[in-house]
Amino acid sequence: MTPVSSPSPHGQSPLRTVQVLGGGNAASGAHVRSLAAGLVARGVKVTVCAPVEADRAYDFTGAGADHVHVPRSSDPVSVAALRAACADADLVHAHGLHASFRTVLALGARRVRTPLVVTWHDRAHAEGARAQLLRLLERRVAKAATVVLGTASPLVDRARRTGARDARLAAVALPGPREPVAPEDPDRSKARAEIGATGRPLLVAVGSLERHRGYDVLLDASRALRHLDPAPLVVIAGEGSLRGEFQRRIEDEDLPVRLVGRRDDITELLAAADLALLPSRWEARSVLAQEALHARVPLVATRVGGVPELVGDAAELVPYGDADALAGAVVRLLADPGRRELLREKGARQAATWPTEDETVAQVLSVYDELTRPQPLI
C-alpha cells in the first residue's frame, strides 16, 4: 500500500535529501528506487545521483525523484558534479563503498554541517593490493559517516571495527510483490522445457561469474551429480570474467551445468527450479536467498556472512569451499520430498519476518529525522 504523503517533520520546507549510487548492483539499485518512492510519498524531496544507465534501469524519476547524472568515477569532474548536487541538501545518503567514498570527497568540510548516512549493502571483494586499498577506503568512509547502516550484522560489526562512530543494522526490503508459483503452473513447465530440464531436476544459481561467488566449488560438486538418475541440470545465470574458464571446465569434464548469461526472467527461472544454490564465499543480504524463500524453492547455501541470520533454519547450510558437503546436501534433498516440503513451509514463514518496503522507509526516515532535528539550545 502506498503511504499517504506527510508534511516535513520540521513544519517548514520539505526535507531535502540526496541519494548517491555508483554502478549499483541489483540489490542496491532496487533499494534506492524503493527508498526514493517511499520518501517522496512522505513529502521528502529526493535527488538521486547515479549514472544515467542506473536511472534507465531503475527509473528513479518515475518514482518522483530528481535524477542527476554522476559517472561512476572518482575523477575531479564527477566529484564536482556530486558536490554541486549536494550543495543544498539537508542530508546525503550514499549506497555502497565506492559511491560513499566519492561522497566523502564531494562533501569535504561540509560534512560538519551536512549529515552523511552510508549504507553498506555488501562487502567489496578483491585480493592482493586492491584488497588493501579497499580496506583503506572502508576506514575513510566509516570514520567520515555520521551513521553507517549495514544490511547484515557482520557488516555492522565490520563498520564498528573500521572506526564508525555509529553503526546500525538496516531494515532492507526485497522490493515488489512476490507470489509463489504452483508446481503444476504451465509457465513453470514451459520454463523448464526451454532451459532443457524436462524430466530431470533443475538446480539454479544466480550471480556474477567471479571468484567470490564460489562457482568453482559448485562445478566440483556437480561431478557427483552426474551419477544420479536422472542427472540434475545445474543452471548458472550471470556474466563475469570467469565465464571462459568455467565453460572450458564444463566441456572438458562433461559437467551437467549450463551457463545462461544475464537473464531478465530470474523470477520465472527460479520459480521453475527444484532447488536454489548459493555457494558464495561471502554474502550479506542475498537477493537470491530472499527470492528463493519467497518463491518456496528449497535453498542450499553456504554458512557465511549474513546468510544464517537471513534464512534461519529455512535452508540447508554448508561450509564454504566444501564441494562434498554441497553435493551431499543436494543429493539428500532431491531424495527427500518431505524435507523439501518442510523447507518450503519454513521458507515462507521466514520470509514473512523480513521487513516490508514501508518498514524500511520508516526506519530510514527516523534516522534522517534524528540527524536533522534542530538541537535544543542549552
In order, the DSSP letters of 70-128 are --S--SHHHHHHHHHHTTT-SEEEEESHHHHHHHHHHHGGGGGTS-EEEEE-S-----T
Mean pLDDT of all residues in 279-286: 96
C-alpha cell of residue 173: 526490503
* DSSP 8-state assignment for residue 320: T
Residue limits of CATH 3.40.50.2000 in the chain: 16-173+355-372, 186-351
> What backbone phi and psi angles, to 5 degrees, belong to 206?
-135, 130
Range of lowest pLDDT (42-46, 178-182, 215-219): 178-182
Mean pLDDT of all residues in 14-26: 88
Distance in angstroms (rounded) separating the CA atoms of residues 289 and 204: 11
C-alpha cell of residue 160: 564498528
Predicted confidence (pLDDT) at residue 6 exceeds the cutoff of 50? no
Report how far apart, in Å, the C-alpha atoms of 285 and of each of 115, 116, 309 are: 25, 22, 9
93 neighbors 256 (Cβ within 8 angstroms): no
E strand or H helix that includes residue 302: strand 299-302
Distance in angstroms (rounded) separating the CA atoms of residues 290 and 276: 11
Mean pLDDT of all residues in 208-212: 95
Predicted confidence (pLDDT) at residue 11 exceeds the cutoff of 60? no
Residue 27: the pLDDT is 83
Residue 131: the pLDDT is 87
In this prediction the pTM is 0.90
Give 156 or 22, the one with higher predicted confidence: 156
Burial class (CB in 10 A: 0-12, 13-18, 19+), 185: middle
317 neighbors 308 (Cβ within 8 angstroms): yes
Q: What is the dihedral angle through the alpha carbons of 305, 205, 179, 190, rounded to the nearest 10 degrees? A: 180
Identity (one letter) of the amino acid at 45?
K
Predicted confidence (pLDDT) at residue 297 exceeds the cutoff of 90? yes
Q: Provide the b/e sequence for 309-343 (b: ≥16 CB within 10 Å).
A: ebbeebbbbbebebbebbbbbbbebbeeeeebeeb
Mean pLDDT of all residues in 50-72: 94
Predicted confidence (pLDDT) at residue 262 exceeds the cutoff of 70? yes
Closest CA to 2 of 262, 311, 313, 356: 356
Most confident of 1-15, 67-81, 119-133, 201-215: 201-215
Predicted confidence (pLDDT) at residue 179 exceeds the cutoff of 70? no
What is the arrangement of strands in the sheet containing 116-120, beginning at the earlier edge strand? Answer: 66-69, 45-50, 16-21, 91-95, 116-120, 147-150, 167-169
Report how far apart, in Å, the C-alpha atoms of 56 and of each of 53, 59, 62, 120, 288 are: 5, 5, 10, 23, 23
CATH number of 16-173+355-372, picked from 3.40.50.300, 3.40.50.2000, 3.40.50.10610, 3.20.20.70: 3.40.50.2000
R_g of the chain, CA atoms, integer Å: 22
> 235 forms bridges with which residues in the sheet?
204, 258
* DSSP 8-state assignment for residue 258: E
Residue 268: the pLDDT is 92
348 neighbors 180 (Cβ within 8 angstroms): yes
Residue 112: the pLDDT is 73
Report how far apart, in Å, the C-alpha atoms of 5 and of each of 38, 42, 331 are: 9, 4, 51
Predicted confidence (pLDDT) at residue 5 exceeds the cutoff of 80? no
Burial class (CB in 10 A: 0-12, 13-18, 19+), 39: buried
| Mean pLDDT computed over every residue of the chain | 92
Find out if CATH 3.40.50.2000 is the number for domain 186-351: yes
Residue 305: the pLDDT is 97
Distance in angstroms (rounded) separating the CA atoms of residues 181 and 357: 22
Predicted confidence (pLDDT) at residue 130 exceeds the cutoff of 80? yes
Range of lowest pLDDT (116-125, 150-159, 363-372): 116-125
